Structure 1
Amino acid sequence: MPRIKVSVIVPVYNTGKYVDECAPSLLGQSLPADEYEVIYVNDGSTDDTLGRLEKIAAEHPNVQVHTMPNSGWPGAPRNLGMRHARGEYVQFVDHDDTLGPEALERLYEHAKRNNADVVIGKMSSTMVRPRRLFRHTVDACTIENDELMQSMSPHKMFRKAFVEEHGLQFPKGPWILEDLLFVSAAYLKAERISILADYPCYYWMKRDDGGNNTQHRFNPRHGFWANARTIVRQIKGGTTPSDDIDALQNRLLHRLYHIEVLSRAREPEILREDPAEQRKRFDAARELALEEFPPAVREGLPAVSRLRAQLLENGDFDGAVALASRVRDVKARSTVAGLRWEGGALVADVTLDLLRGDGEPLTLVERDGKWWLDPELIDGVPGAEDGWEVPDPFRLAYGELVVKDRDREDWWYPEGDLEVRLVPLGDGRSQVVATGPLHLDPERLAGGRPLQRGVHDVWAYVQLLGVDRMLRVSGDEEPGTPATSGPALTGGRLAIPYWTVKGQLALDIDQRQRELGPDTDALVAANPQRARRSLGLPYMAAAAGAPLPIEVTVGTLKTEAKLLPGADGTARLRLPARLKKLPDGRHPVTFPKAEAPVAYAVVRDGVLLRLEGPAYEAGAGRRFLDAVGDNRRVRSMRGRLGR
């Protein structure tokens, strides 16, 4: 009997339908079913969750279900799951999230190859910004890689013997920040930590009912401040104190200070919450900052964050509110120049900077050989009447470009880095900017693999002077139009760069939303309406006359469709509007006696939302274009591109 390689532990409570939505991703893994197990721990659910779980277990021998009295938090169920786990590694999954189809196989292989205690798989999410941690795959590192602190959720793979050796457990009962306590302890103890960044392993999804496992993220009644203090002391106990702002302990504490403490003194929270309630949070944050965080942590912050920390630690609530109202209005701007195709990649020169609320650049002013923060930003802020010195304009400053797969919520990092530098503006004023190349290779961007069919939006993240912003990369070309760089054939697939109606840069692979128009010099919007029941088949000739009935298979459903003749002799495929017998999802559409799909039908609640063109396997695009080479649009485009 094969040994169990991975135990997937899933705590559940009143999960209902989300059990059924998560289960297929757990049970359909590429790792053989007899090499992994799924352990559901029912935390005293009062709805139909237990019945749903028992039905899944009855149909799948590698599924266990355990029930315990309600503990009110996922920590105790995870501990129970670990006690029942037989796998060499344990992987934690929340009941409303999903795994990539090859996640367990890839994570386990990466773990074994590197003898890792902890493996962090690339996370995709509908809720949070991308993390630099997943820019590159790392075979082995330790807690010295402080970027690990960007990923503190428990949705990772841990070697079970390592967990048992160090007695790692989640706190029981309602214990907010339980994930930070467990993960930081694991990071401190681990001798080898691996990062798998070239495959989306974990999808952290926002529920359509507004709930998810982070809904109690900040709740003082659940011991937030005491728990944060416990985590700080755990990190201090596992590292060496130092006055050096770049010492390991101070770098690790920076994350807790910035996210869990300083958030109580910054926008949007301090401007959004009831002032009386927020003042209590502010005072509690101040107490924790003064008692537990060494001064070097505050001194190591960039300019605006350091000023905010000074106001917090001085107890200046009004000053923090004033600063927050100013910083809230700061916006990021992108400039794109020279957009073009080079060597199969879409390239451009990109610059990112920050603008004050009045639209003017956020600047530094040089005085007496020192740099001072923009006086317009801090005018009227108590505690900054004499200005605010910026000893290091580049402190923790960076900018990066990222590409988001709009359909799949995956974030990918183009090649190259942006450089942060000072640009003189005259009169002793300078601006901190991030500038460098965009190099987007559609055939390699997705972890060394081709981008999948769909629209891919170009984003940027910038952190300058302690102000961080995420923005869509925009240019000066006409919104809603093709990019002047034009389309290109990359790996045999049509890649169409264009500007959205808001002037933001996007790349359409395989004509998902943009397609070649009747004139090959033009591009037209495809799928202008949400519901599209017909799809052009340019490679299929159709005689003029009445529509031709044809039987097609949509997923597992056979139904009658129609081929509609087009004016240019091509055909369009039309499906019925209602496909009640099909579950929600994306289903292949095939003709009789044919294996390859001619289209995909997207169905929800028994209604056809839209038809999409074929999703080609990696590397198959060239063969597809060869097969339709007699289509005049494709032939003309090939000629224009010299292919």
Structure 2
Amino acid sequence: MPQPRVSVIVPAYNALPELTDCIKSAMDQTIGLDRIEIIAVNDGSTDGTGKELDRLAETCPSLRVIHQENSGTAAVPRNVALDVARGDYVFFLDSDDYLGPDALRRMVAMADENRTDIVLGKMVSVGGRAVPTAVFQSTQPRTDIFSSAAYRTLGCWKLFRRSLIERLELRFPPFRNTEDKPFTAAAYLNADGISVVADYDCYYHRNRENGNNLTLTAQNLSHRMRGTRLCFETVARHLEPGPRRDQIMRRHVEWELCGPLWWLLLRESEEDIRERIYPEVRSWVANWVTDPIVQRLEPRDRVLLHLLRADRFDEMMTVIRDAKKDAGRGHVVEAGRVYWDHPLFRDTAVGVPDSAFDVTGRLPVHHRTASADWREGGVLRLTGHAYIEHVASRDAATELVLRCHDADHAEVRVPARVHAVAGLPDDERYADAGFVADIPLPTAASGAPLGRGRWDLHLDVRAQGVSRTVRLKSPGAERTPPPRAITAPDPARPLTVTPYTTKRDGLSLSVGREVPREDSPYRVSGVSWHGSRGATLVVGGTLAGADAQEAAALRLRAENGSGDHRETPVSLDRADDRFTAELPVRGLRPGRWTITLTVPGSAPVAVPYRAGLGRTQWFHLARPYAARPEKAASETTLVVEVRPVDVRRVARQKLRGLVRRVRG
């Protein structure tokens, strides 16, 4: 029997009626039944789950059913299935949930192509079940737990390379709750790369009709204590003390330590809390909660941890009992800082430091951009209002801050005029929240125009010595002003400044390059690296109404922030109004290069970023170089980054991967 690519493991206990949809979603995967095995473990069900699994197995040779006595946890049936799994990969599917039809094919392809050990498929909420969202903002072919939000989700509903599981001898601890977090944490901490599939709904996470999800019924703190300790121990075992460990430990301090204390502790008897839970939790704080972790938490968690460190049991119980009431208390503004006016603030008998109550860095800035308009002389005027929550707008001062996203240009600050404004939630407190900011674009950068690139606009809002900076919102795409040509050092090539609304509703300026235009006669349909001539970018598209003379002058152009550029003509096929251009990137200086289509005398046309455009490599003077799209800088126009390859780092990565495969 050929080895399957994926073993789908389904623990099932009294899982009707959701079980049938769950198993069928695995049977209907586009990867094909000949490439998967489904291992369903009936954990002593009494509702007909076992009979339904046997019925389904009669129709599907890829479904294997194992019956056992009830274990009281999903951990044991998962381990039973792991002991017999044969797939290259393992996917854990809960019997309440179901898969999108193309989920496994996409995840396996992602792991194969990027040689990653874990793949996260986008999760979808059904019936209000909570799902992670931060990690699924974009598809990530290869990442890790330190540079992504992957570690925020420790549920086991993921694709794991089975050799990783077996090399680590990973199995689920037999706990009723929090059993999957130590398992997933250990896998994350040892994985050779993580992938994220965010452009397809892979996993549908739902509540049972009868509300008997194990996670929802095992909601006492006692169900979580052993799993939480094992999470801390797992991180400590695999990471040395320092910033990286603190980054990962913070997740467990917030979600497994502080969170359950706030919403579960009072369900326990005070005797159990004092004699059993409190000493255990204090040991976690002493062993694993460092000062840098505490500093990054929200104020109420900081207060709680300080009380635990100081062995103040009674005060801890009081702040947990009064949490809802204390959350609505006011604030104290003092010397440019804002403090939560909690009953323990500056209580010398308890001695919690002021820093635990400092909320300055967490105060939201409420603002609105009312208008954005061009004025004479290339001045862009912005109007609106902005204020810091809980800080009255006395001694108000606001500055507009321009930061270049994709070139090394100095930050530009433009003072705004502050004025009174009406109609806000608290007119008296935020009376002077209005602002007017004029950006003189021909001279904004110390007497010179802004450098080429994408400039993001921010507001630095100040009142009573308190300063908070926020991304400036757009007035709306329909109210964003049109492009404007401004004076440039080279009079023959005036700079075009294009205000535009970003994907997250921020206001940005594109200087020296265009955003994609609906009225452009050149429509890009493909961007790729040449198959045989390495380090050559190929751009193809169609002509829509361009006259012959203009089309003949069309060029594909790469330009960096210093104005250096390289152009190549396009090849035209007037028979079907198509064009193709090939631009060598070999020999370009290291840095970021913006890719556009240009015609002399006309504004450039953006070549848009295309997902899936990988990288290309070449040698120059015996040294390897690479070019690849810079996704974060390509919001309006394709930006390609050229840089030398760090040979030592690449060799170390390959060696580590080889060692892991040999050990596996």
TM-score normalised by structure 1 residue count: 0.53
Match of 1:357 in 2: 328
Alpha-carbon separation, structure 2, partners of 1:277 and 1:182: 28
Q: 1:312 to 1:78 in 2, by over 3 A?
A: same
Match of 1:180 in 2: 181
Mapping of residues 290-369 of structure 1, within 5 Å: 290-324=286-320, 328=324, 357=328, 363=331, 365-367=333-335
Q: What SS does structure 1 have at the residue aligned with 2:42?
A: strand
Match of 2:162 in 1: 160
Instruction: Give 1:95 shift.
Output: 0.8
Alpha-carbon separation, structure 1, partners of 2:87 and 2:476: 40
Q: What SS does structure 2 have at the residue aligned with 1:203?
A: strand
Alpha-carbon separation, structure 2, partners of 1:72 and 1:25: 25
| CA contact 1:152–1:179 (8 Å) conserved in 2 | yes
| CA contact 2:346–2:352 (8 Å) conserved in 1 | no
Match of 1:62 in 2: 62
Match of 1:29 in 2: 29
Q: What SS does structure 2 have at the residue aligned with 1:37?
A: strand
Mapping of residues 42-441 of structure 1, within 5 Å: 42-125=42-125, 126-128=128-130, 130-145=132-147, 147-171=149-173, 173-174=174-175, 176-215=177-216, 217-219=218-220, 224-242=224-242, 247-266=243-262, 268-269=263-264, 281-324=277-320, 328=324, 357=328, 363=331, 365-367=333-335, 371-375=337-341, 388-389=354-355, 425-426=392-393, 428=464, 430=466, 436-437=472-473
Q: What SS does structure 2 have at the residue aligned with 1:253?
A: helix
Instruction: Give 1:385 shift.
Output: 7.9
Say which is worse superposed, 225-234 or 387-396, in terms of deviation.
387-396
Q: 1:239 to 1:437 in 2, by over 3 A?
A: same
Output one character per residue of 1:172-229: Cα deviation in whole Å (capped at 9) or x when no partner: x34642211111110111111111122221122111211113135554655x434422
| CA contact 1:265–1:321 (8 Å) conserved in 2 | no
| CA contact 1:42–1:67 (8 Å) conserved in 2 | yes
Instruction: Give 1:277 shift.
Output: 5.4
Instruction: Give 1:299 shift.
Output: 3.6
Output one character per residue of 1:145-181: Cα deviation in whole Å (capped at 9) or x when no partner: 362221001110001122222222222x346422111
| CA contact 1:11–1:94 (8 Å) conserved in 2 | yes
Please tell me the residue identity of whatever aligns with 1:294. T
Alpha-carbon separation, structure 1, partners of 2:338 and 2:231: 35
Q: 1:241 to 1:270 in 2, by over 3 A?
A: same
| CA contact 1:322–1:381 (8 Å) conserved in 2 | no
Q: 1:387 to 1:233 in 2, by over 3 A?
A: closer
| CA contact 1:421–1:432 (8 Å) conserved in 2 | no
Please tell me the residue identity of whatever aligns with 1:28. D
Match of 2:16 in 1: 16
Alpha-carbon separation, structure 2, partners of 1:313 and 1:283: 11
Instruction: Give 1:430 shift.
Output: 4.8
Q: 1:325 to 1:189 in 2, by over 3 A?
A: same
Q: 1:182 to 1:24 in 2, by over 3 A?
A: same
Instruction: Give 1:396 shift.
Output: 7.9
| CA contact 1:421–1:433 (8 Å) conserved in 2 | no
What's the RMSD between the two structures over aligned residues? 3.7
| CA contact 1:302–1:395 (8 Å) conserved in 2 | no
Instruction: Give 1:36 shift.
Output: 1.8
Alpha-carbon separation, structure 2, partners of 1:188 and 1:386: 34
| CA contact 1:364–1:431 (8 Å) conserved in 2 | no
Q: What SS does structure 2 have at the residue aligned with 1:181?
A: helix
Output one character per residue of 1:10-66: Cα deviation in whole Å (capped at 9) or x when no partner: 011232323223223222222222222211012233442111100000011221112
Alpha-carbon separation, structure 1, partners of 2:198 and 2:290: 33
Instruction: Give 1:67 shift.
Output: 2.0
Mapping of residues 414-563 of structure 1, within 5 Å: 425-426=392-393, 428=464, 430=466, 436-437=472-473
Alpha-carbon separation, structure 2, partners of 1:117 and 1:218: 32
Match of 1:487 in 2: none
Alpha-carbon separation, structure 1, partners of 2:94 and 2:472: 39
Instruction: Give 1:317 shift.
Output: 4.3
Alpha-carbon separation, structure 2, partners of 1:62 and 1:398: 54
| CA contact 1:326–1:377 (8 Å) conserved in 2 | no
Q: What SS does structure 2 have at the residue aligned with 1:215?
A: helix
Please tell me the residue identity of whatever aligns with 2:68. M
Say which is worse superposed, 74-83 or 315-324, in terms of deviation.
315-324
| CA contact 1:22–1:97 (8 Å) conserved in 2 | yes
Find the structure with the greater CA-based Rg. Answer: 2
Alpha-carbon separation, structure 2, partners of 1:91 and 1:396: 39
Instruction: Give 1:387 shift.
Output: 7.3
Q: What SS does structure 2 have at the residue aligned with 1:191?
A: coil
Alpha-carbon separation, structure 2, partners of 1:399 and 1:211: 42
Say which is worse superposed, 149-158 or 276-285, in terms of deviation.
276-285
Sequence identity (%): 28
| CA contact 2:26–2:99 (8 Å) conserved in 1 | yes
| CA contact 1:363–1:429 (8 Å) conserved in 2 | no
Please tell me the residue identity of whatever aligns with 1:131. T
Output one character per residue of 1:276-335: Cα deviation in whole Å (capped at 9) or x when no partner: 6555644532232224433443244243321222123323344345545665368xxxxx
Output one character per residue of 1:390-433: Cα deviation in whole Å (capped at 9) or x when no partner: 69857688999xxxxxxxxxxxxxxxxxxx99575245375869
| CA contact 2:137–2:198 (8 Å) conserved in 1 | yes
Say which is worse superposed, 273-282 or 232-241, in terms of deviation.
273-282
| CA contact 2:120–2:197 (8 Å) conserved in 1 | yes
Alpha-carbon separation, structure 2, partners of 1:27 and 1:13: 20
Q: 1:221 to 1:271 in 2, by over 3 A?
A: closer
Output one character per residue of 1:353-399: Cα deviation in whole Å (capped at 9) or x when no partner: xxx637xxx656232xx624132676697867887236985768899
Please tell me the residue identity of whatever aligns with 2:75. G
Q: What SS does structure 1 have at the residue aligned with 2:72?
A: coil
